[in-house]
Amino acid sequence: MQAPYFHIHRDSVSTICITIGGVWDFRIAKSKLNSLASALHKHQNKRQITQIMFADDARIDLAFGIFLKQHLHSTPEIIASNEINATLNQCLIASIPPTPKHSFVKLFFAQLGKGVYEFFQSFIDFLNFVGMSFYYLVISLFHGNIRLTPLLYHINESGFKALPVSLLTAFIVGFAIALQGAVQLELMGAPLLSIEMTAKLSLREMGPFILALVIAGRSASSFTAEIGVMRLTDELDAMKTMNFHPVPFLVIPRLFALIIVMPLLVFLADAFSLLGGMLAVYLQLGIDMGSYIDKVHESVSWTHFFIGIVKAPFFGAAIALVGCFRGFCIKENTQELGRITTISVVNALFWIIAINAIFSFITSRLGI
């Protein structure tokens, strides 16, 4: 392979001819290309290059042709063989613009603005979806056309099948909270307060909240994946073609099922959370079951229990709405299915925390 070279000839005081020879292809050293580029730029600034001649042993490829045209700001006469001329004619890019330099500040604010806009648009779409879902739910209740079979199916799938892990989680959390409370309050000389603290926390917060987190991780992802797969396989389009609206057929049974089943699950979660607290108090303080129940009956009113029950339908509605809404957002491919399913669980957890905080604020203001 002939080594690449170039020579600069001065034809007169103001004109220069550059002769290029050897093999100039993608394997050429960068230093050689930089030397040629420097020579071209130096003499083109003075408008002295009038001719570029390729020697008989010259061989070029498309990459070098693009490189040459990129660094030729003027149009000198090119003397070359037919093969080289054909290669140069294929280089339609006369000038490749330099890579733009992005400012970090501009890029940051651009991404921030894009994120804010997408969040706002998604929030508006979600509000529209919530309004449409409750509209169809009310219509279905007033007309008595709730589809019983899918309703019972989703009560079983989303509710009762989640009982083992939900009750075990509530039991463990109740045990841990009661144990830590008993240890700390025992050091302060008021160990019996741990029973009241555990019972109130279990009924008001830990039972409903922990249960909602478990159901969100299980059911929100399930709803999103089911509806997302139906969208990817064009089942939703088929339903619309048959004049079946997807919301009454897909969203309402799931929404109504979680609204119904969540209070029942919260009742059981409260019971297991209290059992966990009772076991912890017995192990740490030696208080038996009868004394524990008597203390709970004396110090804890039914108000705490009803507050947790009232929260449950709101938790269920939030989980179902977020899961179904994100399922309808899936449009592209199976990779999008996984990403949106993850977002669905995160959104459901956020709304559960937000609803719980709102209830805590309202009940504290009302002194309940």
- The whole-number pLDDT of residue 47 equals 59
Q: What is the pLDDT of residues 233-261, one digit of tens each?
A: 888 888 888 888 888 888 899 999 999 99
pTM: 0.68
Reported confidence tier of residue 317, pLDDT bands at 50, 70, 90? very high
- The whole-number pLDDT of residue 286 equals 81
Buried b / exposed e over 319-357, threshold 16 CB at 10 Å, is bbbbbbbbbbbbeeeeeebeebbebbbebbbebbeebbe
Give residues with Cβ within 8 angstroms of 107, minimum separation 6: none
Q: What is the pLDDT of residues 58-80, one digit of tens each?
A: 888 888 887 887 777 667 778 88
Mean pLDDT of 2-28: 78
Measured CA to CA in angstroms, residue 239 lies from 126, 204, 250, 285 at distances of 22, 42, 11, 61
Q: What is the pLDDT of residues 43-55, one digit of tens each?
A: 765 556 777 888 8
- The whole-number pLDDT of residue 14 equals 63
Mean pLDDT of 20-28: 82
What does pLDDT average to over the chain? Answer: 83
Question: Where do we find the tokens 């089943």?
Answer: 261
Going along the chain from its start, the domains and CATH numbers come out as: 5-90 (3.30.750), 111-362 (no CATH)
Give residues with Cβ within 8 angstroms of 256, minimum separation 6: 137, 140, 146, 151
- The whole-number pLDDT of residue 94 equals 44
